Chain A
Amino acid sequence: VSTSIQYEFHLKHPPRKVWAALTTREAMEKWLMPNDFEPRLGHRFTLRREPMPALNFDGIAHCEVTQLDPPKLLAFTFRGGPLDSVITFELEPEDTGTRLRFEHSGFDVEDPRQKISFNFMGSGWKSLGENLDRVAGALEEAR
């Protein structure tokens, strides 16, 4: 069973500017991670961050551009530690800005090594998180 983390945002900047920030090595280094990205289908690159022993991840993600349709769609594989996942950015003009859809997919919920799952940003889950805080607080008080 494979699931994902998803977000949707409005950015006030037009798609061509957002696209440039998503697909230019220097820009990506500033907002994302050090990298050797090239906007070319099939290009293999790495994203580097600090190692995360708790996630069994040495900090180096091995990536490959799998979808490239400027200025609308960018997808690349993201393999590191136990993760064998896919990151997708979709851009659509919205007013004078951009609707940005982000997805990090391919988490295997049945792989205990990954210990991560599902689209937890769904409204039910979000409110569960809020409710859980309250429930946990009540449990503490009850002790």
Chain B
Amino acid sequence: MTTPDVYRAISDPTRRRILDLLAVKERPVRELMEPFDMSQPAVSQHLKVLREAGLVKERKVGRERQYRLTPGPLKEVASWIGHYDRFWRERIAALERYLDEEADKDEP
């Protein structure tokens, strides 16, 4: 079951980039600080939102906490978004086909 938390979590561009980085591999917080030039508390706050939305999991490895992506809750989001995405891409492709056909009529 996807909760609105997931939608709020992914509405933030920084959190989307964090998810993107975690999609490549599991990472410690410091690897997530560098690309954004953010403090550890700021990154940790984003990770907390993502964790509460069920999008990341943490585990302790030695002294560090490692974060990894748990993409399950994104599946429902992807299907809703995918619907509109597909719809408009199809319609705009149809617009281009229509224009091509009209141009062919002009040049018999």
Interface set of A (CB-CB < 8 Å, partner B): 1, 3, 5, 7, 9, 11, 13, 17-18, 21-22, 27, 30-32, 52, 54-55, 100, 102, 104, 109-110, 112, 115-118, 120-122, 124-125, 127-129, 131-132, 134-136, 139
Contacts and interface: CB of A to CB of B under 8 A. Distances in A.
Size band of the B side of the interface?
Answer: 35 or more
Contacts of B69: 132, 135
B61 interface: no
A31 B94 CA distance: 5
B99 A110 contact: no
B30 interface: no
A27 B102 CA distance: 10
A13 B98 CA distance: 11
Given A9-B92, A120-B81, A21 B98 contact: yes
Contacts of A115: 2, 7, 76-77, 80
Contacts of A22: 95
Contact of A3 (B11, B71, B80, B88): B11
A116 B84 contact: yes
Nearest to A104: B88
A128 B4 CA distance: 20
